[in-house]
Structure formats: structure tokens, C-alpha cells
Amino acid sequence: MSAAEDTTDQRSGTATYVYGIVPADVEPEPDAAGVGDPPGSVTAVRYNEVAALVSEIQVGHPLGTPEDLRAHAELLDGSARVAPVLPLRFGAVMTDVDAVTQELLSPHHDEFRSALDELEGRAQYVIKGRYDEPVILREVLSGSPDADRLREEIRDKPEETTRDARIALGEFIEQAIGAKRDSDTRTVLDAIGSLAHAVNVRPASHDLDAVHVALLLDVGAREDLEKALADITNEWDGRAEIEVLGPMAAYDFVMKREPEQEG
């Protein structure tokens, strides 16, 4: 527990959870639900041209439940559909609303205002592709003399006597899928390049990832994005599945300054 939280706990048992920064004219939905049990009521703390979306939490409440994570993301992503938003990392807590104004909004007002201006009318989308394992294995192993040799060394032999060959085959497959991933990612980026204001190629999160990229697009660009991907989706039928997520808050494209806490 930080010193700031400790002071609040002694005084009232509550603290202020901060979700993100928005323009000052943004009004949270009346039924917007925040983190906590029961979920906190979301309000806006305003300072000149910017505001922070916040809710009150009990200091002793352990954050990090699936419900809390979902509430944090849903609030930010819902806000991003109607206004620019600078998301803060999950778990950003300050002493009270005065601290939000004095320690976060006031000293960084111009920085936040400039970043919000750059995001006006834009949101993040994510393209995720996952290979079908049997299909991609056939693709990377077909016609490879090295793979054929290693598989022949392994075939019908005990695992303990073919350990080196199995490791070598696994490394070959990993590298071959990585090369396919790089090529397929370039294909996707070529198809959608004219739509994107910015692109972030994310590291693979799974051995069978075909593509995983975040894009900064116009808020209403989902249909155009799906049209741009249509030929690839058809070509990859049975080879890989492509999923489009968004619009969401621009997590990959903004500086997510955290509230400064003592201690």
C-alpha cells in the first residue's frame, strides 16, 4: 500500500481509481460501472480542457479480479467509440479527487490536451490471426529435405535415442512458422496500409500466431478494414482464422502516464 493510500484509509477508507483521460466535455454514461464490488459509479474530474474518468473504491478492496479487468477495459473502450481517450494502466489509484486534479491533470494538462487532439476521431483496432496447426505443419514441412531427413531419423525410433533430431525438428518448425508469420503479417499490412494512421506489430503471443497487429484507424473504419482483409480471409480459408477487434482505446499508441504516488 502506498503512503497516499494509507492516509486515505485512515481518513475515510476510500481512494480514487483513475481509468483514463478524456476531453472535459465528455459525460460518463449514467449507468457506467467501474471496478469494485459493488461496482463503483464512474464520474469525471475536470480541469480546464481535460478530465479524468474516475470512481471511488474501498482501499482494502483487492483489485485484479476478472470483473475488475473487464470493467476497466469496457469503460475505456466504450469511451473510445465516442471520444478520444488516453488510457491509464489497470490499477492506477490516487488519494482523492483533489489529488487527481493537482497531481495528474494540472501538471500535465497541455500534454494531455495535445495527445487527445491527435486521437480525435481515431481509435485502436487489433487484427489477430491464428494458424490451423495441421495445415501450417503440412505447409512448412512439405518439400523440405531437412525436415524429411529429421522425420526419417525419428520415425519408429524410441524418443530417448532421437532426442537431438526431435529438438532439431522442433526448432526447424518454429523458425519456419516464424518466417511464415513475418510474410503473412507483411501481406496484411500491405492490404490495410492506406487505412492506418499508425501500426504496431505485436510480438507473437502463441506459437501458432499468424498475425497480431494493432492499428490506429478512424473510429468508424471497421467495415473498411474488414473489406480490405476480405481477399486474405478468403485465401486463408482453412489455413488461418482472422479476427478483428475494436474500436477500443488506443493502448498501443499513447503514453499512459501513471498517477504519481508517494512511498
Residue 4 pLDDT: 35
Give me the chain's average pLDDT, please. Answer: 89
Q: Please, which residues have CB within 8 angstroms of residue 152's CB and are 6 or more apart in sequence?
A: none
Run of H or E residues at 224? helix 222-235
Residue 257 pLDDT: 52
Q: Residue ranges per domain, the chain? A: 3-120, 123-248
The answer to whether the CB of 87 falls within 8 A of the CB of 77 is no
pTM for this predicted structure: 0.84
Residue 12 pLDDT: 58
Cβ count within 10 A of residue 261: 16
CA max distance for the chain: 74
Query: Which residue has 496484411 as its cell numbers?
Result: 188
Residue 1 pLDDT: 27
Phi and psi, residue 256, nearest 5°: -95, 80
pLDDT > 70 fraction of the chain, expressed in percent and rounded: 92
Q: Please, which residues have CB within 8 angstroms of residue 3's CB and are 6 or more apart in sequence?
A: 261, 262, 263
Predicted confidence band at 172 (pLDDT cuts at 50, 70, 90)? Answer: very high
Q: What is the pLDDT of residues 85-117, one digit of tens each?
A: 999 999 899 999 999 999 999 999 999 999 999
Of 211, 213, 216, which is closest to residue 196 (Cα–Cα)?
Answer: 216
Level-2 CATH architecture, domain 123-248? 2-Layer Sandwich (3.30)
Query: Which residue has 479524468 as its cell numbers?
Result: 52
The type of residue at 202 is R
Query: Which residue has 535415442 as its cell numbers?
Result: 161
